[in-house]
C-alpha cells in the first residue's frame, strides 16, 4: 500500500542516486558473472514504481544484475499463482501485513540469518521494533530485512483550526484531549459539514499500543473477548460517533467512513490519523498542514503505537540467494537509508544521525519529531489468519460510529464471524 508512495519521495530528491559513495553494509565488490533477479510484491508496488524507487539505483550499483519485476497490483497475478506456475522469485517487497500472503502462506519464507552474517550486516543497526515485528509473525525467523518503516501520526489542517479559532494539537496529547478539540471543529459552516478528527480504521486497530493480535496464535481463536478491545473501540470509534455530524456523514455515505479523500480533496476534516505517508499524497502541497505525535491512551501513557515496517525478503526458492543478499544489504545500508530519511521516509535504522536527518530535504517545514516522540509499542505474535479476523472486526466499525450497535455487541459479532472464518480456512 504505502510502499508505493515512497516513489514520490525519492523522485523528489533531485534525481541524485543513493548508490553513490561507499556502502558499508553492501557488497565490497561487484560479481563478475551476470545475475538475473526476479522481484515481486503483494504490497501494491507497480513496475514503474519499482523502477523509479529501486531499479534505477540498483542497476547502477550492480551493473551485472538484471532485475525483472512482476507486478501484482492491478493484475490478477498473485504470489501463490506464481509459485504454482513455477515462476522464479528471488526478492519480495512486502509490508508487515502482506508478509502473510506474500511470503508466509506461499511457503517462500527463508531465514537469511547466515547470509546476513556473510555479508557483514549488523542487525543491531535496525530499530528493534522493526525486526521484532517480523519475528513475531515468523516464529522468530529472519525472512528479510526492514527497508523502511511507517509510523502513525496525527496530521492536521491548520486552515480548519484557524477558521474556527481553535488551538492546534500538540505532541503528547491523549485521545480524550484530541477529541475535545475535534468537537470544537465538528459543525456545519457555509453549507459544508466539517469533522474534527478521523482515524484510519484498520491501522489504529492493528497497530494499537495494547499490542493485541486479532488471533491468538496458540488457539487460532480471535482475541475479541479481551477487554482491551473495548478500550480501543470505545475510545476511538465511540469518540468519532460523538463528534457532531459524524454519524450523519457515515449514514449518508452508505455506511462508509470518511478518510483520506475528505481530508485532502475536500479539506473539511481538521485532523487525520494515519502514517507519515500522508505527507506525500497529491494535494497535500495545497494544504497548510503539520503533524504531531499520535494520541495516547490514558491507560498506556508511555507508548505511541506499534511500528509498521516494510520488508525486503529473499525467497526460499531463489537460486541466487547470495546475489539477492547483496542487494538487500545495499538497500538497508546507512547510505541508502540516509537518503530515504532526509526525504521524509522513516528509516528502518536506529542510527541517530539517520533519525535526526528525517525530513531534512522535505520541501516544507514539518514537525518530524512527532515520529519519534513516543517509544514504539511491542509487536505481538501473529499467525496466518490475521487478515480474516481484521475484516470481521472492521465490518462492525460503521455501526459503532452511527450508534446502531454498542461496543460489546460489535465485539461478540466480530468474534463469532472471525472464529467461523478461521475454522473454515483451517479446514481447507
Task: Write out pLDDT tens, residues 396-424.
Answer: 999 999 999 999 999 999 999 999 999 99
Q: Which residue has the cell 501513557?
A: 301
* Cα 417–chain centre separation: 26
Percent helix, strand, coil in the chain, to 5, is: 45, 15, 40
For residue 388, the model assigns a pLDDT of: 93
Mean pLDDT calculated for residue range 234-248? 97
Mean pLDDT calculated for residue range 9-17? 36
For the cut 90, the answer to whether the pLDDT of residue 30 exceeds it is no
As beta bridge partners, residue 156 has 271, 290
Q: Which residues contact 320 (CB under 8 A, 6 or more apart)?
A: 35, 36, 37, 90
- pLDDT tens digits for range 42-97: 988 889 888 887 888 899 999 999 999 999 977 778 999 999 999 999 999 999 88
For residue 272, the model assigns a pLDDT of: 98
Work out the number of other CB atoms within 10 angstroms of the CB of residue 139: 12
Q: Higher model confidence: residue 133 or residue 172?
A: 172
For residue 18, the model assigns a pLDDT of: 36
For residue 3, the model assigns a pLDDT of: 45
Q: pLDDT confidence of 137, banded at 50, 70, 90?
A: confident
For residue 145, the model assigns a pLDDT of: 97
- pLDDT tens digits for range 266-277: 999 999 999 998
For the cut 50, the answer to whether the pLDDT of residue 115 exceeds it is yes
Q: Model-level pTM greater than 0.85?
A: yes
For the cut 60, the answer to whether the pLDDT of residue 6 exceeds it is no
For the cut 60, the answer to whether the pLDDT of residue 24 exceeds it is no
φ and ψ of 405, to 5 deg? -135, 155
- pLDDT tens digits for range 262-307: 999 999 999 999 999 899 999 999 999 999 999 999 999 999 999 9
Please state, for a pLDDT cut of 90, what percent of the chain lies above it: 80
Using DSSP, state whether 38 is helix, strand or coil. strand
- pLDDT tens digits for range 169-178: 999 999 999 9
Q: pLDDT confidence of 375, banded at 50, 70, 90?
A: very high
For the cut 60, the answer to whether the pLDDT of residue 370 exceeds it is yes
For the cut 60, the answer to whether the pLDDT of residue 308 exceeds it is yes
For the cut 60, the answer to whether the pLDDT of residue 2 exceeds it is no
d(Cα 401, Cα 101) in Å, to the nearest integer?
30
φ and ψ of 228, to 5 deg? -65, -30
From residue 372, how far is each of 24, 153, 223, 271, 352 by CA, in Å?
25, 10, 29, 19, 11
For residue 49, the model assigns a pLDDT of: 84
For residue 51, the model assigns a pLDDT of: 86
Q: pLDDT confidence of 32, banded at 50, 70, 90?
A: low
For residue 168, the model assigns a pLDDT of: 98
For residue 25, the model assigns a pLDDT of: 39
Using DSSP, state whether 340 is helix, strand or coil. helix
- What is the average pLDDT value for the chain, to the nearest integer? 90
For the cut 80, the answer to whether the pLDDT of residue 201 exceeds it is yes
Question: What is the Cα gyration radius of the chain?
Answer: 22
- pLDDT tens digits for range 163-197: 999 999 999 999 999 999 999 999 999 999 999 99
Amino acid at each position: 500500500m504505502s510502499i508505493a508512495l515512497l516513489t514520490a519521495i525519492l523522485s523528489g530528491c533531485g534525481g541524485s542516486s543513493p548508490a553513490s559513495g561507499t556502502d558499508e553494509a553492501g557488497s565490497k565488490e561487484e560479481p563478475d558473472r551476470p545475475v538475473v533477479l526476479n522481484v515481486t510484491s503483494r504490497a501494491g508496488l507497480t513496475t514503474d514504481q519499482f523502477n523509479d524507487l529501486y531499479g534505477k539505483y540498483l542497476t547502477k550499483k550492480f551493473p551485472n544484475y538484471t532485475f525483472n519485476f512482476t507486478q501484482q497490483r492491478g493484475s490478477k497475478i498473485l504470489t501463490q499463482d506464481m509459485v504454482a506456475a513455477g515462476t522464479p522469485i528471488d526478492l519480495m517487497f512486502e509490508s508487515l501485513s502482506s508478509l502473510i500472503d506474500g511470503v508466509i502462506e506461499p511457503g517462500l519464507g527463508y531465514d537469511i540469518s547466515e547470509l546476513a552474517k556473510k555479508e557483514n550486516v549488523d542487525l543491531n543497526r535496525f530499530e528493534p521494533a522493526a525486526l521484532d515485528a517480523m519475528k513475531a509473525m515468523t516464529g522468530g525467523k529472519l525472512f528479510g530485512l526492514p527497508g523502511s518503516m511507517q509510523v502513525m501520526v496525527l496530521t492536521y489542517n491548520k486552515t480548519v483550526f484557524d477558521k474556527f479559532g481553535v488551538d492546534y494539537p500538540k505532541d503528547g496529547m491523549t485521545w480524550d484531549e484530541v477529541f475535545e478539540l475535534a468537537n470544537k471543529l465538528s459543525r456545519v459552516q457555509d453549507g459544508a459539514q466539517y469533522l474534527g478528527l478521523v482515524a484510519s480504521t484498520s491501522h489504529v486497530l492493528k497497530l494499537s499500543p495494547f499490542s493485541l493480535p486479532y488471533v491468538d496464535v496458540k488457539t487460532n481463536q480471535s482475541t475479541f473477548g479481551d477487554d482491551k478491545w473495548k478500550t480501543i473501540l470505545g475510545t476511538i470509534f465511540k469518540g468519532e460517533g460523538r463528534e457532531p455530524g459524524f454519524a450523519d456523514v457515515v449514514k449518508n455515505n452508505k455506511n462508509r467512513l470518511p478518510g483520506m479523500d475528505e481530508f485532502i480533496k475536500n479539506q473539511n476534516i481538521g485532523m487525520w490519523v494515519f502514517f507519515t505517508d500522508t505527507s506525500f499524497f497529491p494535494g497535500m502541497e495545497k494544504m497548510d498542514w503539520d503533524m504531531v505525535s499520535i494520541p495516547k491512551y490514558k491507560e498506556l501513557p508511555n507508548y505511541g503505537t506499534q511500528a509498521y515496517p516494510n520488508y525486503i525478503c529473499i525467497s526460499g526458492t531463489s537460486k541466487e540467494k547470495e546475489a539477492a543478499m547483496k542487494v538487500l544489504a545495499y538497500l538497508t545500508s546507512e547510505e541508502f537509508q540516509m537518503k530515504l530519511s532526509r526525504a521524509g521516509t522513516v528509516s528502518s535504522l536506529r542510527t541517530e544521525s539517520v533519525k535526526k536527518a528525517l525530513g531534512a530535504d522535505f520541501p516544507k517545514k514539518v514537525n518530524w519529531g512527532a515520529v519519534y516522540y513516543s517509544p514504539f509499542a511491542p509487536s505481538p505474535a501473529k499467525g496466518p489468519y490475521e487478515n480474516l479476523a481484521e475484516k470481521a472486526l472492521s465490518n462492525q466499525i460503521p455501526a459503532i460510529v452511527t450508534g446502531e450497535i454498542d461496543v460489546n455487541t460489535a465485539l461478540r459479532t466480530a468474534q463469532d464471524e472471525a472464529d467461523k472464518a478461521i475454522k473454515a480456512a483451517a479446514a481447507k
